Every structure is written in C-alpha cells, then in structure tokens.
C-alpha cells in the first residue's frame, strides 16, 4: 500500500521543465519500448517512414529501450537510447527514474509537439512526463488482440492522458481494439514494407547464393532472447534438408547470443529480412504480430509456430486467423510427420499473389498523426 502511494506521488511530482516547455510544430518523438524483440520498434519505423512522406519537413526523433538503435539510424532518424530494465541490475523505481530523466532530456533538446508511444503499458517514468509536460499531444500505438482473462479495464484506465490511441488491426474481422473508447482509432494491419519494396526473386536468390532451380524455405522463429528455439529449429532444418529444400535461416540483428547454424544454405542477419521474401517458396515463422502480418501482406506462404506462453498476446488466435488468407498452416507442438506433410502441401500449392487485400495500416496511422 505504501509503495503504491509513493509511486502515485512520484508520478505527480511537478517538473520545472514542463512549466516553460514550448513545443515545436511538426516535431514527433517516437517512443517504442522493446524487450527482447523488434516488434514495437519495427511498427514505429513503419509509421515514421510514411509520416516523413506525408510531412517532408517534419522532424522525427526516436527514444527507445531496444538494443537495435543502429537500425533506426540507418532509416535516417536520430535515436536516443535507454538501457532496458532487463539488462540493468536495479529496481523498478530506480529504472523509472533513469527513464524519466532520459526522456526529459530528449524533450528539452528536441521539444516535440507529439509523443508517439508504442509499448504494452505506459511506464511510471512516462506517466510522470505526461503529468508535467501538458502541452505535448500523446498518442499510444497499442495492439488489441489479448488473451481471454486479460484485465481490459486496467488497460482502458491507462489510456487517460493520451489524446489518441491508434490500434493496429489484426488479420480477421473479429480482432482489433479490445474495448470501446472514443479516442481509439483502429487501422489496418501494419507492415514495415510493401510489395514494391521487395527485391526481385532472381536478385534476392543471387544475393543469398541460392540455386534458382531448387525450392527454398525461410526459417525465423524469433530473436531467441526469450524462449529457447534451438531444438525445434534443428528439427525443422533437418526435415527441410531431407526433402531437398534449401534453407535460409533468419537471425535477428539484435540476438544477444547468436549461434551460427552451418547446416543452413544461407543466413540473413539483416533488417528488414522481409525484403528477401520473393526468394522463398514458403517460410517457417513465429506467431508474433510483425512476422504474421508481413507474411500475409507480402503473400509468403508459411507454417506458423505460435508461442502460447506469452503473457497477454494471443499468438494462437492470430495465426489461426491468418489461415483464412491463403496458404498458411499452424503447429503448436512440433511433430515430424505433421511438419513434413505441411511442407509437401505448400510445395504442391506454390505461391500466389493473394495477400490480405488490405491497405498498410502504417499509412493510416501516419495520416492520423498529422491530424493530432
């Protein structure tokens, strides 16, 4: 009780900088809060790229906890960094104090008129900024596909202080924002790349040093920073090789303990890996938001392995919804016989230009930000 009360007081402590803060027009600060992966950062970059097209004179800055800072710089945006709590041996209050001071410094330097937060929940450090810097328009990019039993009333209470909540859509009409609120703006599923951004098939295969006459599969089961994927990945690669399928292993550019797999025909350590999608006949992918939406949007057939141990994100429902959009299969537990049968089906069916038929939600989100 005392701890909760002290947190309440700390969040509401005034900051002198907030009284004299004068925001600059068309200055946006993106605040993606990432843990082990790149989901929030990638979604923010997708929107920021299109926002720059909408407003070429806009100043766009990033502050992130992701260790993929260099990826933001490659896109042409300035990026500040706060070490994620998981990598610091410190408590929640100490980390939030560091986060608040870092965010305050960035605000004082760049003076954004709009702060775009992409994360699961707004941390205490952000909440304190929102109480002090009232002249900033705050926007929350928040996905809405939660498991049954998730406390949605708490999530709704956390939207207070945000001028708008942009809800990236899921695949399927029954998904999207999980509760009703006048400030929630649903958009289509968000993908970093569109089909015209992909490399041509011949060029992509040549860059990956692949035989153009043999089938090829892309395997990416996540960054490997949370759940152990090595055993399942080994089984998948062995099964594909037995069937004469070339294997390209996608390794995350932010994997903390990357382990080279010499059995793969090629390895991609690039960002975004999706620009090579034209090279593949199908993929074997995790069930995260970006992986699934990219595969469907860019018409890459896939076998999905959803992580059912996530806290709130309903990956199983997501990949089941994806199956309605084309040549997609789902495996919760690896079975060699079932996996080989799925591979045979995808090889026989081949690729098609189906896709989801939806616009990229990053365009809609960028337009909404210009109106905020």
Residues 6+ apart with CB under 8 A from 60: 27, 28, 30, 48, 51, 52, 77
Residue 148 CA: distances (Å) to CA of 306, 312, 316: 16, 8, 12
- 40-64 confidence digits (pLDDT tens): 999 999 999 999 999 999 999 999 9
Q: Which of 303, 276, 273, 280 is nearest to 351 (CA)?
A: 280
Residue with tokens 């009360």: 5
Q: What is the rounded CA–CA span in Å between residue 207 and residue 201?
A: 10
Residue with tokens 């080989």: 340
Q: What is the rounded CA–CA span in Å between residue 167 and residue 16?
A: 33
Q: What is the rounded CA–CA span in Å between residue 59 and residue 61?
A: 7
SS (H, E, C) 202-241: HHHHHHCCCCCCCCEEEEECCCCCCCCCHHHHHHHHHHHH
- 307-328 confidence digits (pLDDT tens): 887 666 788 999 999 999 989 9
In percent, how much of the chain has pLDDT > 90?
A: 63
- 116-137 confidence digits (pLDDT tens): 999 988 999 999 999 999 999 9
Instruction: Report the chain's C-alpha Rg in angstroms.
Output: 21
Residue 288 in contact with residue 115, Cβ under 8 Å? no
Residues 6+ apart with CB under 8 A from 269: 251, 252, 253, 258
Residue 165 in contact with residue 184, Cβ under 8 Å? yes
Residue with tokens 């999207």: 176
Is residue 207 predicted with pLDDT exceeding 80? Answer: yes
Which of 100-114, 180-194, 314-328 is the least confident region? 180-194
Q: What is the rounded CA–CA span in Å between residue 176 and residue 195?
A: 23
Bridge partners (DSSP) of residue 167 are 186
Q: What is the rounded CA–CA span in Å between residue 279 and residue 294?
A: 15
Q: What is the rounded CA–CA span in Å between residue 189 and residue 24?
A: 30
Q: What is the pLDDT of residue 1?
A: 44
HSE-up (13 A, CA, CB side) for residue 99: 25
Residue 352 CA: distances (Å) to CA of 95, 120, 215, 216, 331: 48, 35, 15, 15, 22
Is residue 3 predicted with pLDDT exceeding 90? Answer: no
Residue 66 CA: distances (Å) to CA of 82, 168, 256, 341: 8, 20, 12, 38
Residue with tokens 């710089």: 73
Residue 216 in contact with residue 277, Cβ under 8 Å? no
Q: What angle do CA 355, 357, 358 make, to 5 degrees?
A: 115
Q: What angle do CA 347, 353, 355 make, to 5 degrees?
A: 100
Residue 211 CA: distances (Å) to CA of 43, 247, 343: 33, 11, 19
Residue with tokens 């997501």: 318
Residue 327 in contact with residue 352, Cβ under 8 Å? yes
Q: What is the rounded CA–CA span in Å between residue 262 and residue 268?
A: 13
Is residue 332 predicted with pLDDT exceeding 60? Answer: yes
- 218-271 confidence digits (pLDDT tens): 999 875 544 556 788 889 999 999 999 999 999 888 777 766 667 899 999 899
Is residue 175 predicted with pLDDT exceeding 80? Answer: no
* CATH numbers and ranges of domains, the chain: 12-189+360-371 (3.40.50.2000), 195-349 (3.40.50.2000)
Higher pLDDT, 68 or 173: 68
Q: Which of 243, 319, 246, 305 is nearest to 281 (CA)?
A: 246
Q: What is the pLDDT of residue 225?
A: 42
């Amino acid at each position: 009780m005392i701890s909760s009360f002290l947190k309440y007081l700390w969040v509401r402590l005034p900051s002198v900088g907030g009284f004299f803060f004068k925001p600059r027009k068309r200055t946006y600060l993106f605040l993606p809060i990432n843990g082990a992966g790149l989901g929030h950062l990638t979604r923010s970059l997708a929107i920021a790229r299109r926002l720059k097209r909408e407003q070429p004179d806009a100043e766009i800055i990033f502050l992130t906890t992701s260790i993929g800072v260099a990826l933001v710089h490659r896109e042409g945006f300035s990026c500040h960094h706060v070490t994620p709590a998981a990598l610091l041996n410190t408590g929640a209050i100490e980390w939030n104090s560091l986060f608040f001071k870092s965010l305050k410094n960035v605000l004082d330097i760049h003076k954004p008129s709009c702060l775009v937060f992409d994360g699961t929940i707004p941390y205490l450090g952000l909440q304190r900024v929102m109480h002090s810097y009232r002249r900033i328009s705050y926007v929350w990019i928040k996905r809405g596909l939660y498991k049954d039993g998730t406390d949605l009333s708490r999530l709704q209470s956390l939207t207070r202080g945000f001028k708008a909540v942009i809800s990236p859509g899921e695949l399927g009409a029954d998904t999207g924002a999980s509760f009703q609120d006048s400030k929630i703006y649903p958009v289509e599923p968000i993908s970093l790349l569109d089909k015209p951004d992909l490399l041509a098939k011949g060029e992509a295969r040549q860059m990956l040093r692949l035989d153009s006459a043999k089938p090829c599969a892309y395997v990416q089961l996540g960054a490997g920073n949370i759940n152990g994927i090595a055993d399942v990945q080994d089984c998948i690669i062995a099964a594909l090789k037995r069937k004469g399928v070339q294997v390209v292993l996608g390794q995350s550019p932010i994997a903390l303990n990357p382990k080279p797999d010499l059995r793969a025909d090629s390895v991609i350590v690039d960002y975004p890996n999706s620009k090579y999608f034209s090279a593949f006949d199908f993929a074997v992918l995790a069930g995260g938001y970006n992986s699934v939406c990219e595969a469907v949007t860019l018409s890459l057939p896939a076998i999905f392995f959803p992580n059912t141990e996530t806290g709130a994100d309903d990956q199983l429902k997501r990949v089941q919804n994806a199956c309605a959009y084309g040549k997609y299969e789902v495996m919760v537990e690896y079975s060699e016989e079932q996996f080989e049968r799925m591979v045979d089906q995808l090889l026989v069916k081949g690729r098609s230009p189906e896709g989801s038929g939806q616009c990229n939600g990053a365009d809609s989100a960028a337009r909404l930000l210009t109106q905020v």
